[in-house]
Structure 1
Amino acid sequence: MPAMSWLDAEFVRDLFFKEKYTIDGAVAYLQVHYPEQNGISARNLRRFMKENGISIQQRLSTAELKDNVRTVTDEFAGVLGRKKMQAALRLRGIKAGQDRIRLAQAKVAPAYQERRRQGTERRLNPQSYRALHFGYNLHVDQNETLVKYGVVFVLAVDGKSSFIVHAAIMPRKNNIAIYELMYVPAVSKYGLWDQVIADGGREFYLVHHIQEYLNTLRIKDDGELSDRPPYRQVTSVQNNRVERLWQEVNEMVGYPLKAAYIALDNASIIDLANDVHKFTCSYIGCILAKFLMQRCMDIWNHHNIPKKGIPADFVDDRRNYAIPDGALPSTDAAVRMYLEVGQLTEETSFGVDPLAGQPEKQLERNNAFWLDMDVRLGGVQSISESVLHEYYGPLQQAFNRFIEMSMEMLTN
């Protein structure tokens, strides 16, 4: 079935060649302007472009390369070295070698380059690690850098390739949310991993339970059932495939958003004793974090890791076990199965939505809010990039406007 068949090819060409959108920018634009359409993603947009003969590959002059490096440097606030800059340019359809990129960075952003050089530390892990292929180990972990503001990150990373398989953003860490937002999408898209590896926290118990339930699907090429445990709990140090990625995620997502919220908190713009303020922080923070996390994933998955290669290049040769239709339990079914042997905490919001219990008004408010943000502030991408550059005015406006619209709809 053609990808995103409702789109007009000429309109998409104009987004890139007239409006100068990147892939990520075009996805954000389409998501905001066509909220009723499902399946708007970078992967599907690239499929659509391939099916319609739209290519944005470019070979640039030195001056043009400098301009693009300057643009990407501004977007990411200077945190990208030459390898990740190469990945960012590649995602924009631009080919350039690392030596050219390094020279361009030295010219257009020498201060950032020196800061990266001084801050670089080689973190060597003396423990041996063995993953035979993509699909052998799936490392999962959660991060609470922004837990105070109702934003929690959960990552799933393939052990062989270091490919970030999926990232979930949620208001609170929760077994049910982790299963629905992380495990189900990962397994549905790529297949079953031979083993899921997590630390000793309780938040992955539902994932462990279903991984055990699907144990009989782990049939190897020789017809034998895998003799490895379907999941394993280890210390954080042993879960290094995902643990080391938090430095990348925090640099590009967690720390900039945390600094923004701390600034608004210190200025008394937000009051965490107010449940409506807490909900607003969580709602907007999760949306911005999702956008920034997707960019972080794209950069990581397409950058070149020394002695390993590009993580995304491993995907086509994966050896995950196939999941027959209907074999992966729905969230409700998984919860019922687990409740036969244990207890789960219900998923809860962070703070209180003024429109709680009114799903139609919530949907109307959310859609109207983001359309308003698109007109006023340039939408999710513009607000996110303002945060990266430590300009918090747009975030403050978004925070106040969301509360204002909620109260207006509450009284109507």
Structure 2
Amino acid sequence: MGLPDAHLELEVAKAITETGPTYGRRMMKGYLATKGVHAAETRIGAVLRTSHQPYHEARCQGARNLNSTPYRADYMGQKVHMDQNEKLAMFGVTHVVAIDGFSKKIVAHSSMPIKNNLVIYEDVFRPAVLANGMWDQVRVDHGKEFYLTLFMQELLSSYRHNQERRPYLQTSSTRNHVVERIWPEVNNRVNYPLKTALLQLVDQEELDMDENLVRYCVSNLTGQLCHIGLTMVVESWNAHRIPGKGIPNDLAGSGCPKKIPQELLPHSLEAADLYKQHLGSQLTIHSTFGVDPFSTEQDKLTVENQFAEKYSDISDLFFRAVNNDFAPYKEALLHLITTTQRNV
């Protein structure tokens, strides 16, 4: 027996308090599936249209990224696309994702203060390969932040399924077709609500982004909220149905044809040493936004504990922000800044 209408309406209403207005019937179905709630797309769409009309009308009026994509990948593991999103770079958050060209599954993602070779390799490329196997080709733009990833992809190129293809390809960002299409989803569902709140604080002169302590706090809290939101988008995307294709999680199947043992993929510091030995260049190990104001780990722990006493579940800050209630996030951020100032 299917989910009763009343139960479905309650589940959709609860989900909207967490996702905000931008999830349509397909993404909402994917999000509900991640929560163990299953219902037909048509039923979910009907609930969204009738019970939440202002949000439905806003989605209907919103611009869509429907440009044609002259692109083909024949199987999971043929091409993986990696790209960065810097819509929140001025506030110390950059997103990086990796998406399989065939299944359209987002296989890894990370939010970091500033794009960094070691972090991208450690948090995106390495876990994607360990979980799925070696891709025949990594496709990126011309950014320098992918140097370590491309170096390791080439170093391990003999472990690929199809070795006739070049191990990596760098093209302009406008031609990184598959991954570019995910960014409007992330911008609408994560970046723009948080950026709106931050710009309001700047305009009201409550944030001075020229101060290192402020920059550090803004990046820290905003990065954590972005991680919550980006994870929601990724899980929902991977579980939603792409018209004419299928569900990314299903299309990805068991991953790439060629797997690779973990010992061949060293952690980032060791990989950076290999890079220096082979190419003679030193990569930046740490990239921070602002300057860490804490002189001791104890001072840092004190601030974290004091902040947690008032804000034990920061996910609620994100849920409120995406529903256009920016006050809790702004208040929490200012509280973090003043708490930090008292303890350094």
8 Å CA contact 2:65–2:181 kept in 1: the answer is no
8 Å CA contact 1:171–1:350 kept in 2: the answer is yes
Residue 143 of structure 1, CA deviation:
0.8
Match of 1:165 among 107, 115, 123: 107
Aligned to 1:11: none
Could you tell me which amino acid in structure 1 is paired with residue 77 of structure 2?
Answer: G
Q: Does 1:352 align with 2:282?
A: no
Work out the CA distance in 2 between the residues paired with 1:184 and 1:156.
11
Match of 2:304 among 366, 378, 384: 366
Match of 1:239 among 158, 170, 176: 176
- The one-character-per-residue Cα deviations of 1:308-338 (angstroms, maximum 9, x if unpaired) are 1000113333224222241112211111122
Work out the CA distance in 2 between the residues paired with 1:164 and 1:361.
37
8 Å CA contact 2:159–2:260 kept in 1: the answer is yes
Match of 1:391 among 303, 325, 337: 325
Aligned to 1:138: 80
Aligned to 1:70: 13
Could you tell me which amino acid in structure 2 is paired with residue 349 of structure 1?
Answer: T
Instruction: Show structure 2 runs of 5+ residues with no match.
Output: none
Q: Does 1:153 align with 2:87?
A: no
Q: What secondary structure is seen at the aligned counterpart in 1 of 2:207?
A: coil
Residue 347 of structure 1, CA deviation:
2.2
Q: What secondary structure is seen at the aligned counterpart in 2 of 1:282?
A: helix
8 Å CA contact 1:269–1:396 kept in 2: the answer is no
> Aligned ranges for residues 240-389 of structure 1 at < 5 Å?
240-340=177-277, 341=279, 342-356=281-295, 358-374=296-312, 379-389=313-323
8 Å CA contact 1:142–1:152 kept in 2: the answer is yes
Aligned to 2:140: 198
Work out the CA distance in 1 between the residues paired with 2:64 and 2:341.
49
Larger RCO of the pair (alpha carbons < 8 Å, separation 6+): 2
> Aligned ranges for residues 41-190 of structure 1 at < 5 Å?
59-121=2-64, 123-127=66-70, 129-190=71-132
Q: Does 1:212 align with 2:154?
A: yes
Residue 368 of structure 1, CA deviation:
4.8
Runs of at least 4 residues off by over 6 Å: none
| Percent of matched pairs sharing the same residue | 34
Work out the CA distance in 2 between the residues paired with 1:152 and 1:122.
21
Work out the CA distance in 2 between the residues paired with 1:365 and 1:288.
18
Aligned to 2:163: 226
Residue 400 of structure 1, CA deviation:
2.7
Work out the CA distance in 2 between the residues paired with 1:126 and 1:80.
23
8 Å CA contact 2:29–2:39 kept in 1: the answer is yes
> Aligned pair in 2 of structure 1 residues 196, 368: CA closer, same or farther (>3 Å)?
farther
Work out the CA distance in 2 between the residues paired with 1:365 and 1:320.
47
Q: What secondary structure is seen at the aligned counterpart in 2 of 1:141?
A: strand
8 Å CA contact 1:194–1:321 kept in 2: the answer is no
Residue 155 of structure 1, CA deviation:
0.7
> Aligned pair in 2 of structure 1 residues 320, 269: CA closer, same or farther (>3 Å)?
farther
> Aligned pair in 2 of structure 1 residues 359, 321: CA closer, same or farther (>3 Å)?
farther
Residue 359 of structure 1, CA deviation:
3.3
Work out the CA distance in 1 between the residues paired with 2:169 and 2:267.
23
RMSD: 1.9
Aligned residues: 342
Residue 85 of structure 1, CA deviation:
1.4
Work out the CA distance in 1 between the residues paired with 2:64 and 2:86.
23
- The one-character-per-residue Cα deviations of 1:316-374 (angstroms, maximum 9, x if unpaired) are 33224222241112211111122231342342211122205x23443453355335411
TM-score, structure 2 as length reference: 0.93
8 Å CA contact 1:291–1:380 kept in 2: the answer is no
Q: What secondary structure is seen at the aligned counterpart in 2 of 1:80?
A: coil
8 Å CA contact 1:59–1:94 kept in 2: the answer is no
> Aligned pair in 2 of structure 1 residues 360, 313: CA closer, same or farther (>3 Å)?
farther
Aligned to 1:45: none
- The one-character-per-residue Cα deviations of 1:215-236 (angstroms, maximum 9, x if unpaired) are 1222x3xxxx611111110122
Work out the CA distance in 2 between the residues paired with 1:292 and 1:200.
27
Work out the CA distance in 2 between the residues paired with 1:385 and 1:394.
10
Aligned to 2:334: 400
Work out the CA distance in 1 between the residues paired with 2:25 and 2:99.
23
Aligned to 1:26: none
- The one-character-per-residue Cα deviations of 1:17-66 (angstroms, maximum 9, x if unpaired) are xxxxxxxxxxxxxxxxxxxxxxxxxxxxxxxxxxxxxxxxx943222222
Work out the CA distance in 2 between the residues paired with 1:308 and 1:330.
35
Residue 261 of structure 1, CA deviation:
0.6
Work out the CA distance in 1 between the residues paired with 2:110 and 2:22.
23
Aligned to 1:39: none
